[in-house]
Amino acid sequence: MNLKSCLAALTTALLACRAAADPAITIHADQPGAAINPAMWGAFFEDINFGADGGLYAELVKNRGFEFPDPLMGWTKISPSLAKGELSVRTDGPFDAKNPHYVRLQSAGSAPFGLSNEGFRGMGVTRDETYDFSARVRLVDGNPTLRLQLYGGDGSLLDSVDVTNLAGGWQKYTAVLHPNDTDPKARLAVLVLGSGTVDVDFISLFPRHTWKNRPGGLRADMVQALADLHPGFLRFPGGCIVEGSVLERRYQWKNTIGPVEERPLLINRWNYEFLHRPTPDYFQSFGLGFFEFFQMCEDIGSQPLPILNCGMACQFNSGELCPVDQLEPYIQDALDLIEFANGPVDSVWGAKRAALGHPEPFHLKLLGVGNEQWGQQYIDRYTKFAAAIKAKYPEVQLVSAAGPDPGDKRFKFAWAKLRELHADIIDEHCYAKPEWFFENTHRYDKYDRTGPKVFMGEYAAQSVAIVSTKNRNTLQCALSEAAYLTGLERNGDVVRMASYAPLYANTEAWQWTPDLIWVDSLNVCRTANYYVQQLYSCNRGDVVLPVNCDGVTRSSAGAESLYASATRDNTAGEIILKVVNPGAAAATVGIHLDGVAQVDPAAIATVVTGHSSDDFNTINHKEKVTPVTSQLDNAAANFSYPFAPRSVTVLRIKAH
Ligand code: AHR
C-alpha cells in the first residue's frame, strides 16, 4: 500500500468513525425498490386568483364582449367637456347571438368620444412590443374614424392609431399598437372621431408575443415558469371551480372549445367565495379552454389530467346534487371528453379536435371524477361514472376524491369505500401548518401496498392557517413540503402523483394564499415552494433506493432533525440524494453508498436555502430563496457533506 492509498483508507475510516457520532445517511444503492412514476411530480392549475383571465390567458381587455352582468364593468366612458355623445349598451342585432351585448357610440363630432378599458387591474405593456387590437365594428351612420389609444397609468399617451373606412354591417377590424414605454397599468381607449354612430363589440388586445407566439394565446412568461417545473402531469381546471357553488355554475368543458366569442361567460366562483376577498370583476371567459389546456400539456410534456364535475356542486357551498338517475349528461361529458382527446378524426368529438387544428390524439390517460367531494353521495356518483368509463375506456385511469382533509372521517369513509370499489387512484388534499408536514413524513410507510394508489393532488403548507390572508410562501413552509416529499418519494410504489396547489396568483387580485407562482401584469415571481417542486421534478430518478438515517432526532410528534430520500437515475447513472435540514445550524452528515463499485468524486449539489425561515420571494425581491448549484469533488462510497442550515439539498452522484 503506498502513502496515497494509506491516507485514503485512513480518511474513510475516520469518516466512518465520525459518522457514528454525527448523523449518517446510508443509501442502499444495490437494493433498488419501486419504480418512480415518470409523471410523479406535476402541477395543479385552477382559475383562482386571476389564474386564467387576468393571468395565463394573455387577453388584456377585461369584459371584452360586454357580457358581464354589469355590461360596462371594466369600462369608463370618455367624454371630454366639449364632447357631445351618447354611449348605450344594446342587444339588437349583435354580431353573434351568443355574445348578445354590444356598445353603441353616438358622437356629435365636437371632440373624440368613446370608452376605455382598465384591463385586469391595469394592462401590462412593454415598450416597443407589438400589441394586436381587434374588435367587431358596425358603422351605423356618418363617416367617423375609430381612434385606438394606449395610455399609461399616469395618463401619458403610449400609442395611437386610427381605423378609417368603417363599413355598415358587422366586420372584424384589426390594428397594431406599439407602446413607446413600458407600463404595468396601461389602459386602452376606443374613441369615435367625427360625427356619426358606431357599434363596437368584442374589443380585444393581445401581446403579439405569446407562448409559442400563438395569436390570442397564453402569457409566455407564465407558461415558461410552468414549463420550467417540468411537470409530469397538469391537473386542470381545478379545484372547486370544477364543482361550482351550484350545479348551474359548474365548469362544463364543452362550453370552452370553439370560437372564443361563442364561449359563454361564467361568473367565477372565487368572485364571491370569500367575503374578506371579494373580487366582483372575476369571470371566466374560457379563452383558456380545454383545447388550450391539452395543447399546453403537449407543449410542456405533461400528461393531461382533467377533472370533471360528477353531478355535485361544492359541498362547502350548496352541495347541490344531480340525482343519480339523471347523471347521464354528466357521464356523457366524460365519455365525450375522452373521445375529444383521443378519438379518431372520424369520431364525432375527434373530428372537433381535428377541426381545431389537432388531428393527432392528445393521449389522455387520466381523468378525475369530481374534485374535493365526500360522503356516500360521492361514492354513488363515482360508481356510475366508473362503470360507464371503464366499460368503454378500460385503459383510462380514474382519479377519485377523498374530501378536503387528509385524515378525517370523510377521508376514512372514502378510502374504505373506494378500496372496496378497486378505485385506481385516490386524490388526497392537505392544507396544514408546516409542522404537520414535518411530522407526517412517514404517513405512507403504513399504507396498504395492494389498494388504490395515491395522488397527493392538493397540498401546501400554510404559514398561519388555511384561508388566512396572512399566509406567506415562506422558506419554512417550503422546507416542510420538501421534507414531506421525501416520504412521498420513499413510498413511490403507493404515491404515484403529487401537485402543490394552487399554481398561480395575481398579486392584485388573489383570493387564496399561498400559491406557487405570483404574477403581476408584467412580472413573474417563483416562490421558495416553487423551487422545492422544481428540485423534485428535475431530479426525479427512475427507481427508489432505500435510505437509512442514523443519529437523527425525532420529536414525540414525529418531526425529525433531518429528512432524506434517494433514487437512481438509470440513464445518467446517478444516485440522487435529497436531504432536508430544517435546523438553524449546518449538519455535517456522513454519506455511505452501499453496494457501489465506483464513485465519481465530482458530484453536483443544488441547494435551496435562505437567511431566515420566514424569508419569502416577492416580485420586487425575487431571489431571497433560490436554488444554487455547485460542484463537489469529494464524493466517494463514504464521504461527508455539510448540509446548510434551513436547506433542501439535492446531490447527484455518479456511481456504478
Ligand atoms: O386550492 C384551492 C382550493 O382548495 C381548491 O379549489 C379546492 O379543491 C381546495 O379546497
Q: Does domain 75-207 sit in CATH 2.60.120.260?
A: yes
The protein residue whose alpha carbon is closest to atom 4 in ligand 1 is 239
- What proportion of the chain, given as a percentage, has pLDDT over 90? 95
User: Measured from the CB, is residue 502 less than 6 Å from ligand 1?
Assistant: yes
Atom of ligand 1 nearest to the CA of 371: 8
Q: Where are the domains of the chain?
A: 3-30+544-654, 44-58+211-536, 75-207
The amino acid at 340? F
Q: How far is the CA of 316 from the centre of ligand 1 (A)?
A: 11
- What proportion of the chain, given as a percentage, has pLDDT over 70? 97
pLDDT of residue 4: 44
User: Measured from the CB, is residue 63 less than 6 Å from ligand 1?
Assistant: no
Q: Which residues are catalytic?
A: 372
Q: How far is the CA of 204 from the centre of ligand 1 (A)?
A: 31
Strand partners, 189: 116, 149
Q: What is the mean pLDDT of residues 579-585?
A: 98
Beta strands 283-284 and 397-401: pairing type?
unpaired
Q: What is the mean pLDDT of residues 386-413?
A: 98
DSSP assignment of 104-130 equals EEEE-SSS-EEEEE-TTTSEEE-TT--
How far apart, in whole angstroms, are the C-alpha atoms of residue 653 and residue 645? 22
Tell the CATH superfamily of the 3-30+544-654 domain: Golgi alpha-mannosidase II (2.60.40.1180)
The protein residue whose alpha carbon is closest to atom 5 in ligand 1 is 239
Atom of ligand 1 nearest to the CA of 512: 2
Q: 497: which DSSP letter?
A: E
Q: How far is the CA of 591 from the centre of ligand 1 (A)?
A: 40
Q: Mean pLDDT across the chain, nearest whole number?
A: 96
Atom of ligand 1 nearest to the CA of 46: 6
* Cβ-based neighbours of 2, under 8 Å, separated by 6 or more: none
Maximum distance among all alpha carbons in the chain?
Answer: 102
Is the predicted pLDDT of residue 9 greater than 50, yes or no? no
User: Measured from the CB, is residue 237 less than 6 Å from ligand 1?
Assistant: no
How far apart, in whole angstroms, are the C-alpha atoms of residue 26 and residue 42? 28
pLDDT digits over 321-344, tens only?
999 999 999 999 999 999 999 999
How far apart, in whole angstroms, are the C-alpha atoms of residue 235 and residue 584? 36
Coil, strand or helix at 579: strand
User: Measured from the CB, is residue 238 less than 6 Å from ligand 1?
Assistant: yes
Coil, strand or helix at 647: strand
Residue of 372, 427, 504, 511 with the most ligand 1 atoms within 8 Å of its CB, for mutation:
372
Q: What is the mean pLDDT of residues 440-459?
A: 97
Q: How far is the CA of 331 from the centre of ligand 1 (A)?
A: 23
Q: What is the mean pLDDT of residues 195-209?
A: 98
Q: 377: which DSSP letter?
A: H
pLDDT digits over 267-314, tens only?
999 999 999 999 999 999 999 999 999 999 999 999 999 999 999 999
Residue of 44, 45, 46 with the most ligand 1 atoms within 8 Å of its CB, for mutation:
46
How far apart, in whole angstroms, are the C-alpha atoms of residue 365 and residue 338? 9
User: Measured from the CB, is residue 242 less than 6 Å from ligand 1?
Assistant: no
How far apart, in whole angstroms, are the C-alpha atoms of residue 501 and residue 239? 9
| Cβ(255)–Cβ(264) below 8 Å | yes
Q: How far is the CA of 374 from the centre of ligand 1 (A)?
A: 14
Q: With the CA atoms of 191, 197, 199 and 200 taken in that order, what torsion angle do they form, in degrees rounded to the nearest 10?
A: -10
Atom of ligand 1 nearest to the CA of 372: 8
pLDDT of residue 82: 79
For 239, other C-beta atoms within 10 Å of its C-beta total 27
Atom of ligand 1 nearest to the CA of 458: 1
Listed residue (463, 456, 466, 487) closest to 477, CA to CA: 463
pLDDT digits over 227-263, tens only?
999 999 999 999 999 999 999 999 999 999 999 999 9
User: Measured from the CB, is residue 404 less than 6 Å from ligand 1?
Assistant: yes
pLDDT of residue 143: 96
Listed residue (510, 429, 442) closest to 473, CA to CA: 510
For 307, other C-beta atoms within 10 Å of its C-beta total 27
pLDDT of residue 21: 56
**Gyration radius (Cα) of the chain, Å:** 28
Is the predicted pLDDT of residue 155 greater than 60, yes or no? yes
User: Cell 396601461, residue?
Assistant: 186
Residue 251 grid coordinates: 365548469
The amino acid at 62? K
DSSP assignment of 7-67 equals HHHHHHHHHHHHHHHS-EEEEETTS--PBPPTT-B-EE--S-TTSTBTTTB----TTTTS-
How far apart, in whole angstroms, are the C-alpha atoms of residue 113 and residue 194? 9
pLDDT of residue 8: 43
Q: What is the mean pLDDT of residues 109-119?
A: 95
Q: Per-residue confidence at 447, pLDDT binned at 50, 70, 90?
A: very high
Q: In what order do the strands lie in the sheet with 24-28?
A: 547-550, 24-28, 587-594, 638-643
Q: Per-residue confidence at 535, pLDDT binned at 50, 70, 90?
A: very high
Per CATH, the number for 44-58+211-536 is 3.20.20.80
Sign of CA dihedral 298, 299, 300, 301: positive
Residue of 512, 513, 515, 517 with the most ligand 1 atoms within 8 Å of its CB, for mutation:
512
User: Measured from the CB, is residue 515 less than 6 Å from ligand 1?
Assistant: no
pLDDT digits over 10-34, tens only?
444 444 444 445 799 999 999 999 9
pLDDT of residue 1: 44
| Cβ(403)–Cβ(458) below 8 Å | no
Q: How far is the CA of 230 from the centre of ligand 1 (A)?
A: 22
Q: How far is the CA of 246 from the centre of ligand 1 (A)?
A: 16
Q: How far is the CA of 557 from the centre of ligand 1 (A)?
A: 27
Q: Where are the alpha helices (DSSP H) in 343-399?
A: 348-355, 375-392
SS3 content of the chain, % helix, strand, coil (to 5): 25, 30, 45
Coil, strand or helix at 633: coil
How far apart, in whole angstroms, are the C-alpha atoms of residue 635 and residue 297? 38
